[in-house]
Amino acid sequence: MRERRAFVLLLCLVPGCAQLGLRPAVPPDPPLKLLVAQITMHAPLSSPADLQSFDQPLSSEEDPLLLARLIEEVEKKAQQLFTEQLAQQPGFHVVPFAEARQVRASLDFTHKELDIAQLGALGVQTGADIVLTGRILDYGKIQWQYWAVGLAISMLAETLIVGAATGFNPLIMAATAGSELLTDLPFWWGGAYIAGWAFRPVRIKIKALQITGCAQRIWKEQELVVLIPGKSLNKYSPEERKRKELQLGVNLEESLMELAKSAGNDLRLKPCKQPQQTRGKNNGSARGSQVLYT
């Protein structure tokens, strides 16, 4: 199980964490039934302008309500996109997005982020073998522990290069560090759109809960996409290309597509780690009634 470090990939500015040189995995047989239960926002967003371009400034009264609505729209879009991408992977039968939303509403869960017992209940209700959840960790804005390290490394590298070329003149090095801070901080903190290329970091982490046989966490993966090449934006009009919501949406879809591919290669049922209480003892497809992982 690999876990990518966001600041390393930000330095590389790669379009995505594509898996290179891996053979396609043999699809599960019989096919697995999957449910995408939810994808929730955890990026450090504080304003609607973090998510969308606006022609006019918003009033302070509009900000909180609009921010909540925009976040909910992104969460729903991410859940739908991931559901559709997983359905394209061989060996997976995925509960349709509309059905997943309907079943969740019928169970009347009060909290936005479902706990383990609620995820298990959703899995049993839909007959899913595996329930998946996701968190959007970075969305345009990056969590400080990642961008602070990336910015520091970038500033240090540039300052040392200039220092070596100038005999480590302290005034020139200080000026270089200040210039790097002023020019790089907007990129590391919230992305940028430069010369037709968009830098909008989107990082998503997905976890899988096995329901069939026994309830246990069996898989997790995360994906970071930063760079949107100009050619990816060429299908949109010049005005649309500049809009933050479109740029973020492109990288959201790219991240989820890569995660779905990873699931297609790696996501399989696992043997139970320990005896657990089960239901359906009279058939061979018992599902765990307790969730014993954290």
Q: Is residue 180 part of a domain?
A: no
Instruction: Say which range, 46-55, 189-198, 206-215, 281-290, has the weakest mean pLDDT.
Output: 281-290
Q: Is residue 35 part of a domain?
A: yes
Split into its structural domains, the chain has a count of 1
Q: Are 272 and 215 in contact (CB under 8 A)?
A: no
Alpha-carbon span 271 to 103, nearest angstrom: 28
At a CB cut-off of 8 Å and minimum separation 6, what does 223 contact?
4, 16, 17, 203, 204, 255, 256, 258, 259, 262
Angle 226-232-238 from CA coordinates, rounded to 5°:
105
Q: Is residue 160 part of a domain?
A: no
How, if at all, do strands 130-139 and 32-41 pair?
parallel
Q: Is residue 164 part of a domain?
A: no
Residue 266 has pLDDT above 80, yes or no: yes
> Letter for the amino acid at 162?
V
Q: Look up the pTM and report it.
A: 0.76
Q: What is the pLDDT of residues 230-244, one digit of tens each?
A: 788 888 998 999 899
Q: Is residue 270 part of a domain?
A: yes
* Residue 221: pLDDT band with limits 50, 70, 90: very high
Q: Are 191 and 200 in contact (CB under 8 A)?
A: yes
Q: What is the pLDDT of residues 242-261, one digit of tens each?
A: 899 999 999 999 999 999 99
Peptide bond connecting 44 to the previous residue in cis, omega within 30 degrees of 0: no
> Residue 280: its pLDDT value, please?
40
User: Positive or negative CA dihedral for 183, 17, 228, 92?
Assistant: negative
Q: What is the DSSP string of 19-82?
A: --SPPPPPPPSSPEEEEEEEEEE-S---SGGGTS--SSPPPTTHHHHHHHHHHHHHHHHHHHHH
Q: Is residue 48 part of a domain?
A: yes
Range of the domain at 73: 6-141+191-288
The CA-atom distances, in angstroms, between 98 and each of 4, 78, 170 are 32, 13, 61
Q: What CATH code is carried by the domain that includes residue 212?
A: 3.40.50.10610
Q: What is the pLDDT of residues 65-118, one digit of tens each?
A: 999 999 999 999 999 999 999 999 999 999 999 999 999 999 888 778 899 999
Beta bridge partners of 199: 192, 227
Q: What is the pLDDT of residues 110-169, one digit of tens each?
A: 778 899 999 999 999 999 999 999 999 999 988 765 655 665 666 677 677 877 788 778
Q: Is residue 108 part of a domain?
A: yes
Q: Is residue 84 part of a domain?
A: yes
